[in-house]
A and B are shown apart, each in its own frame.
Chain A
Amino acid sequence: MAEHETLRVVIAEDFAILRDGLVQLLADRGFAVLQSIADPVSLERTVAADHPDVAVVDIRMPPTFTDEGLRTAIGLRHDYPDVRILVFSQYIETYAAELLAGAAAGIGYLLKDRVADVGDFVEAPVRVASGGTALDPEVVIQLMGASRRTDAVVGLSNREREVLAHMAEGRTNSAIAASLVISEGAVEKHVANIFAKLDLPSTPTDHRRVLAVLRYLEG
């Protein structure tokens, strides 16, 4: 399991048991864990010094335990656009989802629960590192619920919205097909329709997937 050995990761989580667990899990899966830290100031210092591929960041960290991690992550995105960010938290908050979704590609926002399904969880830093998205299903539900959707998205059929929601989570066509119990060909057709309806330029497919998701999330 050394397929991610080139990915250099830092972990910012203030709860020691979880932090050590994450370090062990990611190291076990072939990631190079450069540093594990417990506060936003150390995170900024580490990113500046080491330039990791991905920073895994807990939202609530010292000193006030509100959303320091989120603020730091958004600052890092601005200062180091090539460092991808995977934010995780006990709660999904709509304002955080909107802030992160508006930040561009290469972003992830997961509930902490997702580390329980280790196989899926370790895929998230890989997707984020390659410029994709790794959004929690809960994030997608909330962003759909936040009634700020525009006409562009309203034009999509229910099935197309479902497919787009799965794309937002960062899933491949085959994974979407398995989840919705339809054929991969049907998924491809829906994806093509989504691209057409959202009027997305013809570029390599993966890039268009990210654009579709962003347009969707931006409302």
Chain B
Amino acid sequence: MVYLDRRMMRLLLAPDAAASRVQRLEESRSLTLYAATATLQRIERNLHDGTQAQLVALAMRLGQAKEKLDHLGVVPGSDTALETVRHLVDEAHRGTKEAIADLRDLARGIHPPALDTCLANALWTLAARSPVPTEVTVSVPSRPTQTPAIEAICYFCAAELLATSTSTPRRRTPRLPVPSTAPGSGSWSGTTAEAVQRRTPASAPPRAAWPAWQTGCVPSMAA
């Protein structure tokens, strides 16, 4: 009797082949999403700690060279060799500054660094940089610390919507409400988190290692 009961339960309640397949697909999709987000974050960080910092140091050196040349006090036109050097240094200085600005825009497009502090901070900067006045309302009481990809998805969706609304003239102020109970938010701590825990080696914890103060937003801004 018990045996029959068990058979019946398994037959009626256990996930069928299709449901299992959907679950497997959801898991693998979550893994891909996490890996992509982590890669983008790593690229931005490498740019910041490497190329961007080197360019800033280079621009500073060129700025110093430019000043030293200016302080030589030679009358323009009296020494053509010095004038040429001055011109070259000027161009290199300007070019380096432009490269820094370009690289910053590129890096921000890859992974906005404010996202590392929290979604709201990133959205406030996005709205402040928007050419049209934008209202931002964020009510996310705690960060989805184990699924950072969802924050990047929210951010880039908002950025895209804002860009579209900026290019289409409207009379109303664009609004960016981000509720904490968006559809699908129930899965924030679900399959992705489990998949990540399986995938990530213990020696390199993912963003779940955020310090406590980063799991909420800056109090003065939450007001």
Contact = CB atoms under 8 A, between A and B. Distances in A.
Contacts of B133: 145, 147
Contacts of B107: 90
Contact of B101 (A60, A95, A113): A113
A156 B199 CA distance: 57
Interface string B113-128: 1101100110011011
Contact of A94 (B45, B48, B125, B213): B125
A65 B129 contact: no
Most buried by A among B53, B114, B128, B218: B128
Contacts of A21: 57, 60-61
B53 A91 contact: no
Chain B contact patch, size range: 35 or more
B117 A98 contact: no
A112 B121 contact: no
Nearest to A146: B128
Contact of A118 (B49, B64, B129, B135): B64
B108 A91 contact: yes
Most buried by B among A65, A67, A90: A90
Contacts of B117: 66-67, 93, 95
Interface in A13-52: 15, 17-18, 21-22, 25
A151 interface: no
A113 B67 contact: no
A117 B209 CA distance: 38
Contact of A112 (B56, B114, B134): B56
A161 interface: no
A115 interface: yes
Interface residues of A, number: 34
Interface stretch (B14-22, B75-83, B92-100): B92-100
B104 interface: yes
A92 B64 CA distance: 24
Interface in A105-159: 112-113, 115-119, 121, 142-143, 145-147
A113 B129 contact: no
Given A94-B124, A95-B221, A102-B220, A116 B129 contact: no
B128 A94 contact: yes
Contacts of B209: 64
B45 A65 contact: yes
B97 A116 contact: yes
A147 B121 contact: no
Contacts of A142: 125, 128-129
Contacts of A215: none
B214 interface: yes
A115 B120 CA distance: 29
Interface of A: 15, 17-18, 21-22, 25, 60, 64-67, 71, 90-95, 98-99, 102, 112-113, 115-119, 121, 142-143, 145-147
11 contacts: A17-B57, A60-B113, A64-B210, A65-B48, A66-B116, A90-B56, A90-B113, A91-B104, A92-B125, A95-B218, A142-B129
Given A64-B210, A93-B113, A115-B63, 10 more contacts: A17-B53, A21-B57, A66-B117, A93-B117, A95-B124, A113-B97, A113-B101, A116-B60, A118-B60, A145-B128
